[in-house]
Amino acid sequence: MATTFRLRAGDTGPVQQSPVTCGSACLTVARMLVDPVFASWVRTGEPHPPGSPHGSSPAERFAAYERVVMGRTNGLLAGRHRLNLPWPRALGTPPWGAKHELEYGASRAGTQYVLDTVRGLDEYGLVEAFDRLVDCVADGEPGLLYIGSRLLPRHVVLILPGDGDRMLDVYDPGTGRVDHLRRDALVQHRMGLSGWDVPWVAVRPNGLRRVEARERAVAPSPAPA
């Protein structure tokens, strides 16, 4: 029987399987957190849903699904065949593609996401952005944070609910580690996540849940051709 997959500060999760799939790794872990059947397939190979990619080990299955995710986030068609602005795979996962993937089964059904540009905000703006992230993920929904240097975004991390003390837990796919992220570390640009410190874009729940009768996509499906 599939069991719930959880990550908390101090845990170690999967590591991204290529230099450009940090975003895909975060989105795959996000799906594992909300979908026990999918998480069981990644970790054990069972059950094996029709259409799921092949892999003889957890790392191989995780890598295979990273490629499936990147096919959707960077291709012309995102999940549920929604039009998507294509993006070169060599440049990683675009925020708009990540938003589509989160709304396509990598969060609870009906959760809507927005993109917040945080690069260039002053100290007060960054405090507000951090507090907004804490509030939005407190309900158990994942979010993403694009980080990098002062010049370019270079990495993606997964934002998890923290311990209730105005703190976040962050999964870094570069190392697999889950650590606390304090507000002052983000505001002062000293996050130190895989060597990157500057926040650029947050992909977060908007706090509203769309109610509609639809079947959740729980089985990993091949990327569009």
Q: What is the pLDDT of residues 49-91, one digit of tens each?
A: 777 898 999 999 999 999 999 999 999 988 888 889 999 999 9
At residue 207, does pLDDT exceed 60?
yes
Is the Cα dihedral 70, 73, 78, 83 positive or negative?
negative
Measure the CA angle with vertex 94, ends 37 and 75; round to 5°: 75
Estimate to the nearest angstrom the gap between the alpha carbon of 219 and the chain centroid.
Answer: 18
* Burial label, 147 (beta-carbon count in 10 A; 0-12, 13-18, 19+): buried
Least confident among 28-32, 118-122, 213-217? 213-217
Least confident among 44-53, 133-142, 161-170, 198-207? 161-170
Report in angstroms the alpha-carbon separations of 78 from 31, 33, 192, 194. Answer: 15, 21, 32, 28
Q: Is 180 helix (H, G, I), strand (E, B) or coil?
A: strand
At residue 8, does pLDDT exceed 50?
yes
The torsion angles phi and psi of 119, rounded to 5 degrees, stand at: -65, 130
Instruction: Quote the pLDDT of residue 74.
Output: 96
Place of tokens 């990683």: 92
Q: Is 99 helix (H, G, I), strand (E, B) or coil?
A: helix
Place of tokens 């977060």: 204
Provide mean pLDDT across the span 24-30: 97
DSSP state of 144: E
Residues above pLDDT 70, as percent of the chain: 89
Provide the angle, in degrees to the nearest 10, between the axes of the packed helices 58-73 and 36-44: 130
> Does residue 217 or residue 106 have the better pLDDT?
106
Instruction: Quote the pLDDT of residue 218.
Output: 42
Instruction: Report whether 27 contacts 183 (CB < 8 A).
Output: no
Instruction: Quote the pLDDT of residue 215.
Output: 43
